[in-house]
Amino acid sequence: MFLTKQDFQKNVSRHDGKSKIVVKFHGVPIYTFCQDISFRESMMLAETIVSEILDGKNKTALMRINDILEKETKTEKEGA
């Protein structure tokens, strides 16, 4: 499967003075990060995280995506 930026959702929020970044793939969280950085820096970091995933540099996230796709495929086969 070919992944694009549209496969990911990025949520950035502020809690107790810290930025929380959650990157989701097909609605399932695959990466969470919380640090004392600005909202703008958080948005740029979220973009960087997705780019690293697409470039194959984040192996943990890629393994999580693979698990999600396997579950989706299994569910589709069971429903057919």
How many beta carbons lie within 10 A of that of residue 26, not counting itself?
A: 13
Strands 28-35 and 8-15: unpaired
d(CA 17, CA 31): 20
* pLDDT averaged over every residue in the chain: 91
The series of mean pLDDT values per 10 residues for the chain, 80 residues long, is 90 91 94 92 94 93 93 82
Q: What is the pLDDT of residues 58-67, one digit of tens each?
A: 999 999 999 9
